[in-house]
A and B are shown apart, each in its own frame.
Chain A
Amino acid sequence: MYVELKNVFKRFGNFQAVNDVSFGLAQGTLAALLGPSGSGKTTILRMIAGLESPDSGQISIEGSVINNLEPSRRGIGFVFQNYALFRYMTVFDNIAFGLTTKKEPKAKIKERVEELLTLIGLEDLGKRYPAQLSGGQKQRVAFARALAPRPRILLLDEPFAAIDAKVRRELRSWLRHMITKLKITSIFVTHDQSEAIEVADRIIITNSGRVEQTGAPVELYRSPATPFVARFIGESTLANDYRTLVGFEEAPDGYECAIRPEFIRLFAPGEEVQFENSVEEGVIETMAFRGDTLEVIIRVRDFTLTTGYSLERPPLAPGDRVKVLIYRLYAFNGDRAVLVSNKRLNNTGNGYNFQI
């Protein structure tokens, strides 16, 4: 493993910010530390950078422990949440800072800075001051400044948080593209699951100071290991007493379940239902247009379920009685999330084979 954390703990006063965290990342990975605020993700990032020191546990890069190495000797590039550009220095001097600190020859510094300015597409803005840049430009400069001394690892703290929604999408793919091109091992912190899923190769999900699960975005989506992950990734409906649902009578006992929108299929009144004995009866409560699909909220006895409905299918209206087929759900058993399929559906041998 290129970057590795082993049983890392960190406490601030009475608050256990990081609680026995271990994970490893291969070289060249673009990883996301994803979790709600206060889950310890930023603290983990700052400990790797050396801005905080762990109470116990090991952090290593390229096989050597860096716990006691000065931050500046760790070979880390750091992009701060608000970029922290030096506001009294030009863009050029900002990017050059790490190199001038190392007392590199002037000609070399100039060459490197110009190379980076070209890379980020701001060749003509070297003489500007940070205050004269847009949010997106500032982020690019912060990125270039972190890369200038050729770090081993790039760390980014909420890199898109300070940018408005439209530019954010652009920057996401820009950053993804840049990091892939440079093949630099990178870790970024985010609380936005869609950001993590779109940008990262691997996601480390944190919650109350612990790592809940580590894996590729699809893995996390398809097989969440814990109730927290099942709830956090995807737009799930939560329900109790799921064993009263048709087809789940024999499901393992648990306290709660999560049902993804795509786990549910609706049949409009009068529409042919092929697996009559595996569906529930429900009433449409509300419908909302979400740009490409309709978001439908259905009441099935005591359950309130949310699903998507294509505009191409027979029209529905609130109050309509519909048939509701639930393919599968995640049952929470202790601290595990178990994927359970509709038993009756399997018995019919129907080939409704859906994949995420």
Chain B
Amino acid sequence: MAKSRTQAPSKHGRRGYRQENPYLRRLLIILSLLFTILMLVLPLVIVIYQAFGTGWDRFWAAVTNTFTLKALYLTILTGSFAVIFNTLFGLTAAWALTRYSFRGQGILITLIDLPFAISPIIAGLIFILTYGRLGWAKPILDEFNLKIVFATPGLVLATIFVTLPFVARELIPVLTARGTDEEQAAVLMGAGFFRVFFKVTLPHIRWALIYSVILCTARAMGEFGAVSVVSGHLRGKTNTLPLHIEILYNEHHYNEAFAVSAILVVTSIVILTARSVVEYLSRREGDDVR
């Protein structure tokens, strides 16, 4: 029985059980294709089409507009900070949670997931309530003449918050699965923390790390909700690309909105490609990050 089952794909040039219903198979494939086209491909094509709908010149003008460039710069800046911070945080947390055992470990693992479960609006409000005009930390901030809400630090904090779980979540299972034997062997031979980390641990987790950093970048660049709350929408000052697009759209500058959107679409495609390459490379090395 098992044998005939494994032979089925080669014989008929397709996967699956021999007993399957051919109509059901066709129906399911067509449905998935249809949904993908309707929900994903078509809207993206429309974005690109609209972006160039009134000619290259208007597109270029919209993209090179000072406010757009400022928003792009701010997006890259906040994204970079968030990715760097979360990579360090992810490594630290994953190491602590898999290499030590301590009280409250389970709670910490759950807390790391919080940003995935919480609405981005709430994430934004948390910062307003903490560092905003009526926030409890406001007097301290004033003391040092610091501004967080409605300024770049607020954007960075909000972005860090929503992307916090990415790296840690990806690394924890990889580190758990790998075990600690090799690290212990290295320690017994006199290797210090950094030598153990760079020579033994990092090679194990590098694909998972790169993969999670890519996902984190994608999310950080596209973040809208939490950032929208803490930004204050000061054009040229606290507007990231997603917020800039919203403003353009609300002001009925549709072509410009789509033109700027095209930047984000292209970025997503680049990130998706990078992700696929990493998946391919890691699988070739037998590390399979997925």
Contact = CB atoms under 8 A, between A and B. Distances in A.
B184 interface: yes
Interface string B175-197: 00000011011111111000100
Contacts of A80: 181, 184-185
Contacts of B200: 86, 88
B199 A82 contact: no
Contact of A101 (B182, B190, B203, B204): B190
Interface residues of B, number: 16
Interface stretch (A70-78, A192-200, A343-351): A70-78
Given A88-B203, A88-B204, A51 B188 contact: yes
Nearest to B182: A84
Contacts of A81: 181
Interface of A: 49-51, 71-73, 76, 78, 80-82, 84-89, 97-98, 101-102, 131, 145, 149
B286 interface: yes
Nearest to A157: B181
Given A86-B199, A88-B203, A88-B204, A101 B191 contact: yes
Main SS of chain B's interface residues?
helix
Contact of A86 (B182, B188, B190, B286): B182
Contacts of A82: 181
A71 B188 contact: yes
A101 B187 CA distance: 10
B191 A97 contact: yes
A88 B286 CA distance: 12
A122 to B, nearest CB: 19
Given A49-B188, A51-B188, A72-B187, 16 more contacts: A72-B191, A73-B190, A76-B188, A80-B181, A80-B185, A86-B186, A86-B199, A97-B186, A97-B199, A101-B186, A101-B189, A101-B190, A101-B191, A145-B185, A145-B189, A149-B189
Contacts of A72: 187-191
Contacts of B189: 72, 97-98, 101, 145, 149
Contacts of A89: 199
A78 B184 CA distance: 10
A51 B181 CA distance: 11
Nearest to B189: A98
B230 to A, nearest CB: 42
Interface in B34-68: none
Contacts of B185: 78, 80, 84, 86, 145
Q: Tell me which of B181, B189, B204 has the highest count of chain A C-beta atoms within 10 A of its own C-beta.
A: B189
B8 to A, nearest CB: 32
B175 to A, nearest CB: 15
A144 B287 CA distance: 27
Contacts of B203: 88
Contacts of B190: 72-73, 98, 101-102, 149
